[in-house]
Amino acid sequence: MSRPHRRLVSTCVGTVTAGLLATGAALAAPGEEPAGSGIAMGAYLDYGPSGVARIPLLSRWLGGREIRVGHTYLPGDRWSNIEGTDFLADWAEWRQARSNRMFVLNVPMQERNESRIPDHQVARLIRAGADGQNDAHFKKLAERLVSLGVPDTVIVLGWEMNGTTYTHRCGPDPERWKVYWKRVVTAMRSVPGQRFKFDYAPNRGTDAIGWTRCYPGDDVVDIVGMDSYDQGPGSTFDDQVSQPYGLQKHVDFAKAHGKEISYPEWGLFRHGDNPEYVRRMIQWIEEHKPAYHTITDYCPHGVWQCKQNPRSSKAFRDALSAKPDPLPTPVVPTPVIPTPVVPTPVIPTPVVPTPVVPTPQVPTPQVPTPQVPSPAVPTPVLPTPVLPSPVLPSPVVPTPVVPSPEIPAPETVPTPVAPSPVVPSPVVPSAPQPSPAVPSPVAPSPVVPSPVEVPVPGSPSPAPVPAPVPTPLKPPVVAPKPPSVPSQWCVPLNFGEWLSKIVGKQAICFKIDLGEDSTWWPF
The DSSP symbol for 211 reads G
The secondary structure of 459-523, three-state, reads CCCCCCCCCCCCCCCCCCCCCCCCCCCCCEEEEEECCHHHHHHHHCCEEEEEECCCCCCCCCCCC
The DSSP symbol for 214 reads G
Record the pTM: 0.59
The domains of the chain, with CATH numbers, are 18-320 (3.20.20.80), 414-426+448-459+479-523 (no CATH)
Give dist(CA 262, CA 69) in Å, integer. Answer: 12
% of the chain with per-residue pLDDT over 90: 54
Residue 302: band (very low, low, confident or very high) from pLDDT cuts 50, 70, 90: very high
Give dist(CA 276, CA 263) in Å, integer. Answer: 18
User: Side chain identity at 423, as an amino acid letter?
Assistant: V
Most confident region among 8-12, 101-105, 443-447 by mean pLDDT: 101-105
Q: Is the pLDDT of residue 40 over 70?
A: yes
User: Side chain identity at 226, as an amino acid letter?
Assistant: M
Give dist(CA 181, CA 170) in Å, integer. Answer: 10
Mean pLDDT for the stretch of residues 8-15 = 35
Q: What is the pLDDT of residues 262-288, one digit of tens each?
A: 999 999 999 999 999 999 999 999 999
Give dist(CA 442, CA 483) in Å, integer. Answer: 12
Total number of residues shown for the chain:
523
E strand intervals along 201-323 = 223-225, 228-229, 260-267, 292-296
User: Side chain identity at 90, as an amino acid letter?
Assistant: D
Residue 508: band (very low, low, confident or very high) from pLDDT cuts 50, 70, 90: confident
For 314, the enclosing helix (H) or strand (E) is helix 310-320
Give dist(CA 322, CA 304) in Å, integer. Answer: 16
Q: What is the pLDDT of residue 221?
A: 98
Give dist(CA 107, CA 180) in Å, integer. Answer: 14
Least confident of 32-36, 148-152, 274-278: 32-36
Between strands 228-229 and 260-267, the pairing is parallel
Q: Is the pLDDT of residue 14 over 50?
A: no
More confident residue, 491 or 327: 491
Mean pLDDT, rounded, of the chain: 75
Cβ atoms of 316 and 308 closer than 8 Å? no
Q: In this structure, what is the dihedral angle of CA atoms 80, 139, 117, 5, given to the nearest 10 degrees?
A: -60
Q: What is the pLDDT of residue 4?
A: 42
Closest to 297 in 3D by CA, of 321, 274, 313:
313
Between strands 40-44 and 69-73, the pairing is parallel
Q: What is the pLDDT of residue 231?
A: 95
Query: How buried is 103 (Cβ within 10 angstroms: 0-12 exposed, 13-18 middle, 19+ buried)?
Result: buried
Q: Is the pLDDT of residue 52 over 80?
A: yes
Cβ atoms of 221 and 262 closer than 8 Å? no
Q: What is the pLDDT of residue 181?
A: 98
Closest to 7 in 3D by CA, of 300, 265, 230, 296:
296
Q: What is the pLDDT of residue 502?
A: 74
